[in-house]
Amino acid sequence: MSLHGLPVELLHIIAQDLDIHALAALAQTCSILCDVAQGSLYRHICVSAWSRNLCVVALLANKPSIARHVRSFYIAIDSLSAVFPSYYRLLSRAILNMSELTSLNLLVDSGVSWVLKDACTRTSYPHLAHFTCSFPFDENVVQFLTKTPSLLELEVDSIPSTFACESLGASLSPATIPRLEQFIGSPRTARLLVPGRPVKSLHLNGGALTDEDITVLAQSTAPILVLGAVTNSSPLPFLEQLHRYLPHLAYLRIMTTQTILQPPAAEFYEQVADVLASFPELSAFELSGVHWGSQQKRDDGSKRVWQSSPLSVQIQLDDEIII
C-alpha cells in the first residue's frame, strides 16, 4: 500500500517523526502530502529579528491554509529592530488566520495592541490556553479576551503604561476567560481579572501590592496557591495580611522596597517564622531574594518548622592548601 492509500490521521502520525528536511521534501510530492507536511512544519513557530525569519509573518498573513496549522506562535521584536507599520498589519492578519492556536506570545512594541483588532472579528479562538503580550490592559486586549473561552494562563500589563485605564475593567464581562488559573502582570490589572475567576497562581510586577489589593485577590473562586509580589509595607504586617486573606498559599515570594541597612535582629527571624508557621500549606518562602529554610516536623500533619535565626556559615580550610 502506498502512502496515498493510508488514512490522513495515520499520515499525520508518521509526519511527526520526520525531521524538518524530510518534511520539506514530503511537502513537494503532492497536494495531500503537502498538507500533511505543512501541519508539522508550521505547528510551532518562533519569530524574531535575530533568527532572521520575520518573513514568516507575511506567509501566515497571505496563506490562511498554512496559518490554520499553527498551534503555538511566538514573536519577539526588540526596540532596536526597524519594523514598519505595514509589518504589524501583516501580523494582525496572521493572528486572524491562526484559528487553531493553543499558545500565543506577542513580545512587540507595547503601543501596537491594535494588531489584535482583526482577531476580534473571529467568533473565537476555542483552543487558546496561553496568551502573553507586552501590551497594556487596554480596549484591544479586553476585546480579544472575549474570544478566548479556554484561556488558562495570561500575561498582560507587566510594564504598566499611563494610557491603560482601569475603567476598561467594566467592559470585561464576568463570563470572559472563566477558566483563568494563572496571571502575570500588574496589581491593578489583577484587581480586574481575579475576582470571580479560579485564579491559583499570581506573579505581580510593575507596582506594589497593597492591603486593599490583597482583599480583592481573595475573591478568586479558587484558593490562591502561588504568589510573587512587591510591597512597600514592612514584611511582618504584610505577611499577617496575607495569612488573613490568602491562607492556602503554598509558594510565596516577596520583594520589599524598604531599605535594609543592617542584618535583621534574631527577633525578626522568630516573628517571621511564627507567621509562616500559620500557613498550613506553605512549603517555600523567599523574602527579597533570601530563601527561608523549613522542614516538616513530623508526619502527623503538624505545622512546618521555619528558620527562626540567621544561617551560620562555617568555612573549613583544607590543611593541604597552601596560601
**What are the C-alpha distances in Å from 283 to residues 155, 230, 309?**
25, 20, 18
Let me know: does 105 contact 98? Beta carbons within 8 Å: no
- DSSP annotation of 156 reads E
Give the pLDDT confidence score for residue 308 in this predicted structure: 65
Q: What is the pTM of this model?
A: 0.84
The answer on pLDDT for 322 being more than 60 is: no
Task: Give the list of residues 6+ apart from residue 118 with CB closer than 8 angstroms, or none.
Answer: 92, 93, 95, 96
Helix 235-245 / helix 266-277 crossing angle, nearest 10 deg: 10
Let me know: does 106 contact 75? Beta carbons within 8 Å: yes
Spatial strand order of the sheet with 201-204 comes to 44-48, 72-76, 103-107, 130-133, 153-156, 182-185, 201-204, 226-231, 251-256, 284-287, 290-292
Residue 303: all three cell numbers together: 505545622
Distance, in Å, from the CA atom of 19 to the CA atom of 76, rounded to the nearest integer, reads 25
Range list of H helices, 100-246: 139-145, 187-193, 211-217, 235-245
- CA-based nearest residue to 309, from 260, 262, 268: 268
Sort strands 290-292 and 284-287 into parallel, antiparallel or unpaired.
antiparallel
- CA-based nearest residue to 74, from 36, 37, 107, 51: 107
The C-alpha R_g of the chain, in whole angstroms, comes to 25
Distance, in Å, from the CA atom of 89 to the CA atom of 112, rounded to the nearest integer, reads 10
pLDDT digits over 13-57, tens only?
A: 666 666 666 666 666 666 666 666 666 778 899 999 888 899 999
- pLDDT, average across residues 180-194: 95
Give the pLDDT confidence score for residue 21 in this predicted structure: 65
Reduced to 3 states (helix: H, G, I; strand: E, B; else coil), residue 90 is helix
- pLDDT, average across residues 223-252: 95
Give the pLDDT confidence score for residue 307 in this predicted structure: 74
Task: Give the list of residues 6+ apart from residue 303 with CB closer than 8 angstroms, or none.
Answer: 277, 278, 280, 297
- CA-based nearest residue to 251, from 200, 285, 295, 211: 285
Give the pLDDT confidence score for residue 229 in this predicted structure: 96
Residue with the bigger pLDDT between 164 and 130: it is 130
